[in-house]
Every structure is written in structure tokens, then in C-alpha cells.
Amino acid sequence: MSRINGDQRFPRVPTRAEKVRVPLWMLLLAVAGKGLALAVRGCWRHRVAVATAIGGLLFVHRFGLLGLGVLLGGLVAVGVVWWRVHGRSFWPVAWWLWGRARLTFVYQRRWKPAMVHTDLAIRMPASTGDQVTFDEYFPRIRSIRSSRSVDVLRVELLPGQTPAAWAEQAEALRHVFRARRCQVHAETFRFVRVVFHRHDSLTRPVPPAALDDSDGAGPDPAGAAGDHPRSIRSSSGRGVLVAGLSAVPVGRCEDGSAWTLPVRGSHVLIAGATGAGKGSVLWGLLRGLAPAVAAGLVELWVCDPKGGMELAFGRPLFTRFATTTDTIADLLDDAVSRMQTRTATLAGNTRLHTPTREEPLIVVVVDEIASLTAYVTDRELKKRIGAALPLLLSQGRAPGVVVVAAVQDPRKEVLPFRDLFPVRVALRMTETDQADLVLGNGARERGARAEEIPRALPGVGYVLHDGNPDPIRVRAAYVDDVEIGRVVAHYRPASAAGGWTPDVSNYLDDDSDPLDGLDQAA
Ligand SMILES: Nc1ncnc2c1ncn2[C@@H]1O[C@H](COP(=O)(O)OP(=O)(O)OP(=O)(O)O)[C@@H](O)[C@H]1O
């Protein structure tokens, strides 16, 4: 018969220990020894604070309080000069000091009660002859990294604890430490990183990043036809452009780093309610791809089922542009046949197509893909589109025919092949389960609260990065009409069909380098 308590031993039942008579001097010696050991341990744990306090006292003893005031004033002055002269080396030290201060005055002060009340401390019953007591074990904060808006604590798990147990308490911890949001990230073993977001670093619109015109050929001012400088692009410049297709800059992550999306070798789905800012992610990608379009390494095949309302402004950059259901069906069929021809050529030679001028990366962009999958009434067209899209999504990555699509409603009934998009972005949603539909089960629990994104923050959303299951909060850069006009004028390919070209003359100085203008806009 298996034991009632499994393999775990029952805690020892407190018993009254036999009394042992010891001489008083031995008792005093033991108490003094224990006190000394505790004092040494405390000093070692708080060595920086102890050293600072002793140093301060010695200084006051030698030079008086006035001397201490002069010393502090001098330190502040040195800090200011250092900041002005060499900010790059000043800030890491300043943030380190700020982190130590927050550790001492915020986290360590409330750590023990927080751990007890969230059940993250372990209490073991122990007996001392006369009474039952508890030995308490607290998770230790091993390091802290602070910035303007985030504190990251690296905490060592107690034996038997799991990162999931910590993730469950994230909301409680957020309230204890008065943070706006708390996320728990697991390390491979023994440690979790508890991230407290104090301020929202994404409340202000993000300016678009400078475009990498890496071969120095420069843009084409005002879209001057004819003599296109891209025709002299160097092969190293082309290499940089091809590499850039794996990380197209579209905005900023919550920690201040650049948010990029891969286009080469991947399909991208952008999901969000109406007004969530899907357009800014799409335009961010189109803008980021523009230098490669100009170099002939990328072809944009754009479908705008909204009749061209959203994307027509970029038309000179597009190799193909379709706005009606039947022309979109033709475009998708052509993309499938290009993909199949290319697959036949590449089979056995390479596992991932490298864009060249002869065989560029084809990016099929679809705004509101649900108009093609769920809301098409013509059965024949619906069948054609329903056959082409899954083919592109399941086979197009390797031969370089990729899909970038936006959708409002991410449910399976609306977008049956949602899971064929390896990269997915969840902008503001209307329902609680939608973040999980887009990013995968458990994403909301790990922090992707897409339905809580305020309407006032279009372009804010969540993404998953590099197989990491913890969602990252991001904001797309705001690409306004002026910026679109500049990019179209600067990067439209030499072969662009005539037709309509946006009038950007107002945005360009005659004698200025148009790329400078772009950078300034960024
Ligand atoms: N990244 C952003 N930063 C700041 N403002 C933005 C951003 N993206 C969009 N906006 C603002 O929000 C408005 C709505 O954005 P957008 O049209 O891109 O939403 P959408 O998700 O495409 O909506 P719909 O599905 O209705 O077309 C824009 O007109 C713009 O003013």
C-alpha cells in the first residue's frame, strides 16, 4: 500500500526535548557567538552600505558636517561635468546607482511581507522544546537592472518553486511594488527575471527610424525619372540590403530597443481592431523595404481590398497593385505560379532563396485579408483565393514569395490559415481571448493584455521574439503622409510605371540631400 503522504516525510511533530543543564557562561558564550555570526553575515550582505556609512562617519569625525556637505556638493558637480562631457559612460553608472537605491528603499523594504503574503516564501515548522516556531526561507534578489521605466530583478528560486508559481503572483507583486505592469520571465533554471514596468515608455508616437541606404547611392530626389542612381549599387551594398530584409525596422520595443520584423523567410500577420494602427505597421514595413525595392531586390505585390484607400499612396513603389477581388485573385494566382517555377529551379540547390535583381524577393501585401477569406460572395473567386493563399503561406517562404497581411478579426472562421504565419503581431483587440488566438495559448497570461491597450495608443501591441514565449510590448513608428510621400519619391524604382506620383515638391529643399531630410524626419 502506498504511503498516505507519498514520498514526502511528515514534518516532525514538536516534542518537549529533555532538559539539559548548561553552565551560564556557556550559554552567554553561545549567545554572543551567534550574535557575532549574524553581525558579520549582515555586514557582508550589506557591505556597500556598511562601508559607505563607516566612511561617512569617519569623514564627519575628521572634517565635520560642513566638510561632508562640501564633499557631496563636489560629487554632484563631478557627476554633472561627467554627464555633460561623456554621457555614454555616465549613464550606466548613474543607472546602476539608481538601481541600488531602488533595491534598498523599494524592493528590500517590502520584500519579506510580499513573499509571505504571496506564498513565495517557504515556512517550515520547527520545534524548540517548549514551542513550535517556523523557519522562513525567502527567495533572494541576486541583481537588479533599472532604467527610466523598468526595473528587472533577477531572483533565485527556492527549492521546489517553479517560474509558473511566480507568474501566477505577478498581479499581486505589481500592486505591492506599485508598478504599472509586472512580467515574470523564466531563465533556463534556478532563476526568474521579474520585470516591473513603472512608466509606459510608449505613450508618445515613435518616429520612423533612419533608412539604411547602405551603398551610398543615395535617394532619387523628387522622383526624377530616367537617371536612377540605384543602377550603380555595389554588391556589398546589396548584401547589406539583403541582410536587412531579415530585420526590417518598424518601431520601438518597451525597453527602448528597435522593433524589427523579418520579411525574408517569413510571413507576417498583423491583427488588431479597427483603428488599432495596423496601417502604421504595414507602412513601417513598406517604408523599411523601400531601399531594397529601389535596388531591385524586392518586388511589392500589393492587394488593397478596401479599394486602395489605405495603400494607394505608395503605388509607385509597387510592382503590382490590385484593389478588386478579381484582380487580387489574378495577382495571387500569378504569385503561386512564380513560386512554383522558382521552387522547381531552386530545388536541390538551396534551402532559402537569396534575392537578386533577376529573382527578387516577392512580398505579397494584403490589407484586411478577411475580405478575401471570409467576406467574398463570388464562389468561384473565393475558391481561387482560398486555394492560392494557403499555398503561398505553406510553400512560399523558402523560394522567396512571402505574405504580409493585416486582419481585424483573428478567429479561425475568418482566417482559417492563421497558424501558417510564423510571425504575428497583436495590436489592440476587443476581446480577452484574441491575444491568445494571435500569439498562441498562454500569451495573455504571460502579459499580452491586448484588450487593455488604450484606444489613445494606436500602433501599440505585443509580439513574440525568437522563440521566447514571453510577449514583448512594442509600438509601431508613425509613418505619416508626408513621410510616405518622401519615401515614394526617393525610392521608387526606375522601372516604376508612370501614372500617379505624389507631389512632394513642398517637402524637398532644392539643394538639400533628400536622405538628410528623411533622417531628420526620423
Ligand atoms: N503608430 C502610430 N502612432 C501614432 N498614431 C498612430 C499610429 N498608427 C496609427 N495611428 C493613428 O491612428 C489612426 C488609425 O490608424 P490605422 O488607420 O492605421 O488603423 P487600422 O488598424 O489600420 O484601422 P482600420 O482597420 O480601420 O483601417 C491613424 O489615422 C493615425 O492617426
Distance, CA 407 to ligand 1 centroid (Å)?
13
Measured from the CA of 368, which atom of ligand 1 is nearest?
25
Residue 276 assigned to a binding site: yes
Distance, CA 473 to ligand 1 centroid (Å)?
17
What pLDDT score was predicted for residue 194?
A: 94
Ordered structural domains, the chain, with CATH: 89-199 (3.30.980), 245-494 (3.40.50.300)
Phi, psi of 296 (to 5 degrees): 80, 10
What pLDDT score was predicted for residue 496?
A: 54
Residue 459 assigned to a binding site: no
Residue pLDDT, tens place only, 7-30? 556 566 555 666 778 889 999 999
Q: What is the pLDDT averaged over residues 293-297?
A: 91
The angle that helices 514-521 and 481-491 make with each other, rounded to 10 degrees, is: 150
Distance, CA 243 to ligand 1 centroid (Å)?
29
From 201, 203, 280, give the residue whose CB has the most ligand 1 atoms within 8 Å, as the site to mutate.
280
Q: Whose CA is closest to atom 5 on ligand 1?
A: 458
Residue 514 in grid coordinates:
533628400
Q: Report which of 314, 259, 267 is spatially closest to residue 493, judged by C-alpha positions.
A: 314
| Ligand 1 contact, 274 CB (< 6 A) | yes
What pLDDT score was predicted for residue 333?
A: 94
| Ligand 1 contact, 456 CB (< 6 A) | no
Lowest mean pLDDT among 229-243, 468-482, 499-513: 499-513
Residue 279 assigned to a binding site: yes
What size, in residues, is the chain? Answer: 522
Assess whether pLDDT exceeds 50 at residue 324: yes
Assess whether pLDDT exceeds 50 at residue 100: yes
| Ligand 1 contact, 371 CB (< 6 A) | no
DSSP 255: T
Residue 442 assigned to a binding site: no
403 vs 351: which has the higher pLDDT: 403
Q: Whose CA is closest to atom 29 on ligand 1?
A: 275
Phi, psi of 199 (to 5 degrees): -120, 155
| Ligand 1 contact, 464 CB (< 6 A) | no
Q: Whose CA is closest to atom 13 on ligand 1?
A: 275
Measured from the CA of 475, which atom of ligand 1 is nearest?
1
Distance, CA 274 to ligand 1 centroid (Å)?
8
Residue 72 in grid coordinates:
557631496
| Ligand 1 contact, 279 CB (< 6 A) | yes
Residue 44 in grid coordinates:
557582508
Residue 324 assigned to a binding site: no
Residue 231 in grid coordinates:
543602377
Residue 424 in grid coordinates:
504575428
Give CA–CA dist 12/324, Å, rounded. Answer: 77
Measured from the CA of 206, which atom of ligand 1 is nearest?
3
Q: Do 330 and 322 contact (CB within 8 A), yes or no?
A: yes
Report pTM.
0.74
Give CA–CA dist 493/54, Å, rounded. Answer: 70
Residue pLDDT, tens place only, 138-160? 999 999 999 888 899 999 999 99
Q: What is the pLDDT averaged over residues 44-56?
A: 89
3-state SS class at 124: strand
Q: DSSP letters along 421-470, please?
A: -SEEEEES-SSTTHHHHHH-TTTTTTT--GGGS-TT-TTEEEEEETTEEE
Q: Whose CA is closest to atom 24 on ligand 1?
A: 274
Residue pLDDT, tens place only, 28-46? 999 999 999 999 999 998 8
Measured from the CA of 284, which atom of ligand 1 is nearest?
1
Rounded to the nearest integer, the mean pLDDT of the chain is 84
- Report the relative pairing of strands 401-407 and 268-271 from DSSP bridges: parallel
| Ligand 1 contact, 280 CB (< 6 A) | yes
Cβ neighbors of 191 (< 8 A, separation 6 or more) are 142, 154, 155, 156, 157
Q: Which residues pair with 362 in a beta bridge?
A: 299, 401
Measured from the CA of 276, which atom of ligand 1 is nearest?
21
Give CA–CA dist 163/341, Å, rounded. Answer: 48
